[in-house]
Homo-oligomer: A and B are copies of this chain.
């Protein structure tokens, strides 16, 4: 397994790998890998002759009061997991190698990124789009695999791929959950035992929405009210509760198929997100 820090070297590796006739997959991550990430690697390996994984805690997608400086890291362990998972190359850049001091170009998405996490985290999706565009140009993947847990991120990047004509096939992996239902996330490492128990409220609130839809409930506002009440009853501070069209991410009035419920809530200081198709 190659470990490459320099963007130009990574580009050269990608060109060489593709020239050898291999279909190239990329799994972009911020590291502190868990089973969810490894499921993305497996999906990539099913589709590609060589898989690259990027480990980069991207500063530009964090707000000034967010957890950039404390984001969990465990590079040696991550590299070991990548090796075991059959990753061919890990791209492990330094921030200084990714952003020139006078960097002045960004990729912006101005519709799908406006609400939900984009409303709570101004600049987040601008940072995400920009770094993913850079990673696509550096790692030159034929296939890029993202996790469904970041539902809005997937929608925004899919839109970026379409609107900027990136020659990349997007593959989206289902959410992996711990046995108790908590969606896997590197940020779960922040949670105390109590906060973790509280965190189960997110998947439970989504289950409420799912059951309501199955039972023929139509009133979105009523369902969202019950979801919010449940989150609060668990001691979570709600950031948002939303039921949206799966493609446009527009809020919907009446529950039906092709919709997604999304929640974001703080358990202690840790912001958790989760979502489920209805």
Q: Which residues of A contact B (CB under 8 A)?
A: 7, 11, 15, 99-100, 102-112, 129-130, 133-134, 137-138, 140, 159-160, 162-167
A11 — which chain B residues lie within 8 A by C-beta? 165, 167
Bound CA span A129–B15, Å: 24
Sample of 15 more A-B contacts, CB < 8 Å, known A106-B107, A134-B164: A7-B165, A11-B165, A100-B162, A103-B163, A104-B110, A105-B162, A105-B163, A105-B164, A107-B107, A107-B133, A133-B164, A137-B165, A137-B166, A137-B167, A138-B165
In chain B, what residue has the closest Cβ to A133? B164
Pick the contact of A105: B102, B103, B129, B137 (CB < 8 A). B129
Which of A15, A159, A163 has the most chain B CB within a 10 Å cutoff?
A163
Taking chain A's interface residues, is the majority helix, strand, or loop, or is none over half, making it mixed? mixed
Q: Is the CB of B104 within 8 A of A163?
A: yes
In chain B, what residue has the closest Cβ to A247? B102
A159 — which chain B residues lie within 8 A by C-beta? 104-105
In chain B, what residue has the closest Cβ to A15? B167
Q: Is the CB of A104 within 8 A of B109?
A: yes
A105 — which chain B residues lie within 8 A by C-beta? 107-110, 129, 159-160, 162-164
Pick the contact of A106: B15, B102, B108 (CB < 8 A). B108
A111 — which chain B residues lie within 8 A by C-beta? 102, 104
Which of A105, A129, A163 has the most chain B CB within a 10 Å cutoff?
A105
A162 — which chain B residues lie within 8 A by C-beta? 100, 105
Bound CA span A111–B104, Å: 6
Which of A99, A134, A159, A165 has the most chain B CB within a 10 Å cutoff?
A165
Bound CA span A102–B100, Å: 32
A108 — which chain B residues lie within 8 A by C-beta? 105-108
A102 — which chain B residues lie within 8 A by C-beta? 111
Which of A99, A102, A134 has the most chain B CB within a 10 Å cutoff?
A102
Q: Is the CB of B167 within 8 A of A140?
A: yes
Bound CA span A100–B103, Å: 29
In chain B, what residue has the closest Cβ to A109? B105
Which of A106, A140, A164 has the most chain B CB within a 10 Å cutoff?
A164
In chain B, what residue has the closest Cβ to A129? B105
A110 — which chain B residues lie within 8 A by C-beta? 104-106
Pick the contact of A164: B15, B112, B130, B167 (CB < 8 A). B130
Bound CA span A129–B130, Å: 13
Whole-angstrom distance from the CB of A28 to the nearest CB of chain B?
Answer: 13
